[in-house]
């Protein structure tokens, strides 16, 4: 009997260790994905100059990326729920596409090929979401908010390190007599292929099989689950909220880079540091908001956060340069990405067991497709009214998101 008890304890510890490292591993992979996704922002001024692109053309590139991202979520959700044991393969395909997109960017001298490359990176990054988020939802059913936040913290780390690192690689450094002129943007783009392929290799060798499914999901069952989700006001409202948050984030981030490069004449490194600051505070705030939403409810946390996003976006109207711009960027970064896992957890609260991948797909697909027009609209506004016009546009988006956060219907859980 004693040996049996010791065996059970040993197996329990082994399971806990495996579960813990799975969470860390998937979160780290998410960080690599966002490192690649965020790096392209710092390349924008160089690509814009090389290809002689207008504000609208730049906005269209990112709008196309978001549209491809949204469409890719549909097959990702279907394949995740139907073939949960193939989750590692889906994650490998995701990373492969990210690597391929940077190869295309580095070799491209044409606008349309660069636009296609951004669509590939949008599709590749989206293929990560459904398998990764649903895997964590299945394995951590009692701590969904925390698991979503931990996974998103990996993204925050990637978002934070990428701009500073890419800015340094582009701009070089002069320190204590050491001079380095940096690399060309094409070389940097080609170097970004390496971390994507390295992550693909780690997934192939270390992650075997997805979480066991409690039910067998056929195509018919999947379509039926999709129909229920599409008809769910709780899931749909979170998809729209996710779209508003993403539209606000992408628009302010993209044209903040252009504003700093062209109006403030900041160096590549200085721009990279500021975009890093936009997500640095989120490394700490993301898990905090996730835990708070588990304890006090999704509604109050998401409403407060969307309101704060609107406030700090509008603050750019007077925080135009210097330390005020820097500080406002940090404060905006506490909320602008960190609220995303709370929105995702709210959608999961209204999702039936076995449809987690479908719910993630619906959230990201709807969000990306609805928000795809925002960078184009922001480009038109930036051309007509400058950065201040973009700020007002994004502030209005955040205000709409604040109202939706409070009045949105919720799932039948204690975390309403």
Query: What are all long-range contacts of 7-15, with beta carbons under 8 Å and residues at least 24 apart?
Result: none
Superfamily (CATH) of domain 9-210+218-407: MFS general substrate transporter like domains (1.20.1250.20)
pLDDT digits (tens, 9 = 90+) for 247-273: 999 899 999 999 999 999 999 889 999
> What pLDDT is recorded for position 12?
39
Question: What percent of the chain has pLDDT above 90?
Answer: 39
Tokens at 374, concatenated: 């925002």
Q: Which residues are CB-contacts of 406 (< 8 A; sequence separation ≥ 6)?
A: 299, 303
> What pLDDT is recorded for position 26?
80
* Cα–Cα separations (whole angstroms), residue 175 to 163, 172, 274: 20, 10, 20
Among 37-51, 208-222, 284-298, which is the least confidently predicted range? 208-222
φ, ψ at 142 (rounded to 5°) = -90, -10
Query: How many CA within 13 A on the CB side of residue 42?
Result: 35
- Judged by DSSP in three states, 210 sits in coil
Cβ proximity of 376 and 59 under 8 Å: yes
Q: Where residue 302 falls among pLDDT bands split at 50, 70, 90?
A: very high
Rg (CA), the chain: 21
Sign of CA dihedral 76, 78, 81, 86: negative
> What pLDDT is recorded for position 151?
73
In whole numbers, what is the pLDDT of the chain averaged over residues? 82
pLDDT digits (tens, 9 = 90+) for 131-168: 887 777 777 766 666 776 777 778 778 888 888 899 99
Among 103-107, 213-217, 317-321, 333-337, which is the least confidently predicted range? 213-217
pTM for this predicted structure: 0.79
> What pLDDT is recorded for position 251?
93
Average pLDDT score over residue span 271-299: 86
> What pLDDT is recorded for position 209?
58
Q: What angle do CA 77, 367, 140 make, to 5 degrees?
A: 50
pLDDT digits (tens, 9 = 90+) for 5-19: 444 434 434 444 456
Q: Is the pLDDT of residue 117 over 50?
A: yes
How far is the C-alpha of 171 from the C-alpha of 193, rounded, in Å? 20
Query: How many CA within 13 A on the CB side of residue 192?
Result: 38
Question: What percent of the chain has pLDDT above 70?
Answer: 81
Among 42-56, 125-139, 187-201, 379-393, which is the least confidently predicted range? 125-139
Q: Is the pLDDT of residue 51 over 80?
A: yes
Neighbours of 316 (CB within 10 A): 23
pLDDT digits (tens, 9 = 90+) for 181-206: 789 999 999 999 999 999 898 888 87
Query: Which of 264, 254, 259, 265 lies closest to 44, judged by CA?
Result: 254
């Amino acid at each position: 009997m004693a040996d049996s008890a010791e065996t059970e304890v040993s197996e329990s510890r082994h399971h806990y260790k495996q579960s813990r490292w799975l969470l860390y591993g998937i979160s780290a992979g998410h960080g690599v994905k966002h490192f690649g996704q965020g790096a392209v922002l710092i390349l924008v001024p160089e690509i814009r100059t090389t290809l002689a692109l207008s504000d609208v053309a730049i906005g269209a590139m990112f709008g196309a990326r978001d549209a491809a991202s949204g469409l890719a979520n549909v097959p990702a959700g279907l394949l995740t729920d139907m073939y949960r044991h193939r989750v590692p393969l889906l994650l490998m395909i995701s990373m492969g596409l990210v690597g391929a997109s940077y190869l295309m960017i580095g070799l491209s001298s044409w606008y349309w090929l660069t636009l296609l490359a951004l669509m590939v990176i949008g599709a590749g990054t989206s293929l990560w979401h459904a398998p990764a988020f649903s895997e964590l939802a299945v394995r951590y059913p009692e701590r969904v908010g925390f698991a979503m936040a931990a996974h998103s913290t990996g993204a925050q780390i990637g978002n934070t390190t990428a701009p500073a690192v890419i800015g340094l690689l582009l701009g070089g450094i002069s320190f204590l007599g050491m001079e380095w002129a940096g690399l060309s943007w094409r070389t940097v783009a080609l170097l970004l292929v390496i971390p994507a392929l390295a992550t693909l290799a780690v997934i192939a060798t270390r992650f075997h099989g997805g979480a066991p499914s409690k039910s067998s999901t056929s195509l018919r069952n999947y379509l039926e689950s999709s129909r229920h989700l599409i008809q769910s006001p709780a899931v749909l409202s979170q998809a729209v909220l996710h779209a508003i948050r993403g539209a606000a984030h992408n628009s302010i981030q993209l044209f903040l880079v252009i504003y700093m490069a062209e109006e403030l004449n900041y160096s590549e490194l200085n721009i990279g540091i500021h975009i890093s600051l936009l997500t640095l505070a989120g490394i700490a705030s993301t898990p905090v908001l996730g835990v708070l939403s588990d304890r006090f409810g999704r509604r109050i946390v998401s409403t407060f956060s969307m309101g704060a996003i609107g406030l700090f976006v509008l603050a750019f109207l007077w925080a135009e340069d210097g330390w005020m711009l820097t500080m406002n960027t940090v404060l905006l970064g506490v909320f602008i990405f960190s609220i995303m896992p709370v929105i995702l957890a709210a959608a999961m609260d209204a999702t039936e067991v076995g449809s987690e991948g479908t719910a993630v797909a619906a959230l990201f697909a709807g969000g990306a497709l609805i928000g795809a027009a925002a960078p184009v609209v922001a480009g038109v506004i930036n051309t007509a009214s400058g950065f201040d016009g973009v700020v007002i546009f994004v502030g209005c988006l955040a205000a709409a998101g604040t109202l939706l956060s409070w009045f949105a219907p919720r799932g039948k859980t204690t975390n309403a």
